Structure 1
Amino acid sequence: MVHSPVGIRSIALSFPTIRRTNNYYVEKYPELIAQAEQKGLARMFSLTGTPPANEFDMEMLPYLSDPFRGTIERWVLSHEESSLTLEYCAATDALNAAKLSINDIDLMIVASVWPEQIGFGNAAFLARKLGLVGAAWNLDGTCGSTPVVLQTASALVRAGEYRNVLVVISCSYSRVFDEQDTVSWFLGDGAGAFVVSSMEGNQGILGTKTVHTGALCEVVSAELTKDEQGNSRVRMQTGNGAKALRETAAEFLSICCEGAIASAGVTLEQIDFFLFNTPTAWMTRFCTRLLNINPERTIDLYPLYANIGPVLTVANLYHAAHLGKIHENDLVLIYGSGAAGVASASVMRWGNVALALHPLESSKLAKTVF
């Protein structure tokens, strides 16, 4: 099938102002460090005395002696920040990089993990803040949202329904996990945005494969609680399905990547660069091992950001372009997946994508909290 060229025109990232290294937790919660192997993070990623059963286990094995499971640092929201403030910064930077105004945007699609309001996504609130006149709606694929939103936006532009679609992705794990829950140690916050428009020649999205991740519905759960001021808040907890992450990782990766490559009409060997979401320190090594590709053909951002959910995919694209690892007309494969959501891969021919200035390079507000 021949598609009209539609793809990413610009990309921007936005991060909170607080950087936390592992020392913060070591000094503040020494008793949790001592008991780490009995806590949530260790239970989620553990072999429980059994030998490695698959490629995921094999790559996870070297990290099991580390209470942080390979996490080095993460960026978290301050009291003055929110997912909406991060989304607003990323959205305006993406527009500026594309040399567009908000009046040039026909549609905005927002994926927030998690939104600010209980029961409502961020789309209408962000649209009001940006002054958007056109359409805006939410899309939820949990941590696999980015490839699905890109697929949706590209299809709508290709169909002639909209000209320019602004996609905004955010993750605010620090607001839904308690700091004393060791699972929060491998989580961070952030936002990304990109503009989807018509492209040149044969650039843009060439093929996508998406499947649901119903097998992972028990990995996490949400409950409504009250904070100290009596306000309602959502709190996430790990469930009994963590083992399913290890058992299904290979299947989801293979089905989606092989399906997207076939849909694009190319081969694995023709892909110039691979961008996997990296929610764990060993995910990149797992993906390259399973697909049997050279690790130099991908990038690993986990040491910089920890697990920032669907924003990882946007950050991967940004950093790969910023570091000169992908160039115009390269074939690029992106993959993202999330519990109780979707796993999805897309193959695109990279265009002339404008990059906003990285916020952590330009901001003087960032501070280290030890």
Structure 2
Amino acid sequence: MRDISHVGILGIGTYLPPEVRTNDWWPKDLVERWRVQRAAGVTRELEPDRQASPVATALARAMAAYKDDPFEGAIERRVIPDDMEPSDMELAAARAALERSGVGADRIDALLIGGTIPDFQQNSSGCRLHLELGMRPGVFTLQTEGACNAFAQQVAVAHALIGSGQARYVLAVQSSAQSRVLRKEDPFSAWFGDGATAVVLGPAPAGEGVLGQAHLTDGRFYGALVTGVPGKRWTDEGKNVLYLANPRMAREQFFAIVEHANPMLDRALAAAGLGRKDIGVIVTHQAAAWFGPAIQAIWDLPEARRTDTFAWASSLSGANLPMVMATGEREGILRPGDVVATISGATGMTTTVMVMRWGRRSAIS
């Protein structure tokens, strides 16, 4: 295969389960208990022992807009039914992405799967998708584990595979089935939804597609928000649930992400040969309703267009960015030729900023 230096998104597929869970699913007395606990929650005021930098202050200001809302701006979310597996959602999203891209499953060279809650451990759902989509035996299949940063990390892998000539078309799939590990009594049980997205990546014309990337890992936040058996190893007896192993550390992750947001954007723009004035659209992770406005303020891009999905889908973990992109395109906010800046971060912590020029089209022969 020949060397290809420009890699773009050729098609996005999305899937949301049919069941809609609104905020009244949580009992009023429980919500009131959450409301009382807000003073010690994620959106509390800055602690006296943390430096109030301009970036931290901007994040705290955005959080404060939702300080009286235990749902963090979420109104509804989708929930996977008992008789459905996460790979069912992935399969539906993958089929939609292939159809929209014009790339047949038999032309895919690499399959990347990033499911937050997979069907099984030690058995990639990519193998099921490979079979049911009718892919060739020679496909490179990789289960990625990027949590909320899954899509951006998959783009980096796809960019390397396509750019080096090892693949021409890559199908990257992301899913979230967090409802299966959430405890109803935890406030953050209302902040997550279920769903799946899939993206076909392939060669793009010069000046389009992914133009710059910046990645960061900060291991200080390892173990803050985890899925496991509280107080035990995840392999011990008991139900695996999503829980805050270190609440203060989990909150500090958000401040760390935004503190790095500006230098990471500068790095990605430098790689792209662009400036901030070129950015027309911002696509952010959907951690809460306040995250997008905070990033827009921190990046000082008041004129850039932005759409959010948190209010009606809540957080879809690694599927957030593709869902926002698909929504923005459908709403006319994201248009061919737009320079897009994205940011996503995952517990642990990893963060990625990407700069791309939007140019959706059918596959190039």
TM-score w.r.t. length of structure 2 = 0.87
Q: In structure 2, how many angstroms separate the alpha carbons of the residues matched to 1:43 and 1:17?
A: 35
Alignment of 1:10-49 (within 5 A): 10-25=11-26, 29-37=27-35, 43-47=40-44
Preserved CA contact (<8 Å) 1:213 1:339: no
The answer on whether the counterparts of 1:118 and 1:233 sit within 8 Å (CA) in structure 2 is no
For residues 111 and 341 of structure 1, the distance between their equivalents in structure 2, rounded to whole angstroms, comes to 17
User: Whole-Å Cα distance in 2 between the matches of residues 43 and 246 of structure 1?
Assistant: 15
**Contact 2:43–2:66, Cα closer than 8 Å, also in 1:** no
1:96 aligned onto 2:135: no
Equivalent AA in structure 2 for residue 214 of structure 1: G
% identical equivalent positions: 23
The match for 2:76 is 73
Counterpart secondary structure, 2:168: coil
Of 186, 198, 210, which residue of structure 1 is paired with 2:215?
A: 210
The DSSP-based 3-state class of the residue aligned with 1:108 is strand
- State the match for 2:200 in structure 1: 195
Change over 3 Å in CA distance of 1:190–1:219 after alignment to 2 = same
Residue 168 of structure 1 and its aligned partner are, at CA, apart by 0.3
Asked if 1:84 corresponds to 2:92, the answer is no
Q: Give CA-to-partner distance per residue, 1:261-295, whole Å, 9 cap, x none.
A: 11111101111211111211111110111111116
Give the structure 2 partner of residue 256 of structure 1: 264
What is the CA distance between 1:42 and its match in structure 2? 7.0
Q: Secondary structure at the match of 2:185?
A: coil
Contact 1:143-1:341 at 8 Å conserved across structures: no
Cα distance 1:173–1:252, how it changes in 2: closer, same or farther (>3 A)?
farther
- Cα distance in 1 for partners of 2:308, 2:39 equals 22
Q: Deviations over 1:217-254 (max 9, x none)?
A: 232122248xxxxx975311112222313431322322
Matching residue of 1:238 = 244
Q: 1:296 Cα deviation (Å)?
A: 4.7
Indicate the larger mover: 329-338 or 238-247. 238-247
What one-letter code is carried by the residue in structure 1 that aligns with 2:88? T
1:228 corresponds in structure 2 to: none
TM-score when normalising by structure 1? 0.86
How far apart, CA to CA, are the structure 2 residues paired with 1:216 and 1:295? 33
| Distance in 1 (alpha carbons) for counterparts of 2:45 and 2:206 | 53
Distance in 2 between residues matched to 1:341 and 1:13, nearest whole Å: 26
Contact in 1 for aligned 2:75/2:311 (Cα 8 Å): yes
SS in 2 for 1:84: helix
CA distance in 2, matches of 1:136, 1:247: 35
* In structure 1, distance between residues paired with 2:46 and 2:321: 33
RMSD across aligned C-alpha pairs, in angstroms? Answer: 2.5
* Distance in 1 between residues matched to 2:303 and 2:288, nearest whole Å: 16
Distance in 2 between residues matched to 1:42 and 1:165, nearest whole Å:
45
Does the 8 Å contact 2:162/2:202 carry over to 1?
A: yes
Q: Which residue of structure 2 lines up, in the alignment, with residue 122 of structure 1?
A: 125
Measured after TM superposition, the shift of residue 49 of structure 1 is 8.5
The answer to whether the 8 A contact 1:215-1:244 is kept is no
Q: 1:274 to 1:69 in 2, by over 3 A?
A: closer
* Cα distance in structure 2, aligned partners of 1:135 and 1:285: 38
Any unmatched runs of 5+ in structure 2? 231-236
Unaligned runs of 5+ in 1: 226-230, 355-370
Secondary structure class of the residue paired with 2:287: coil
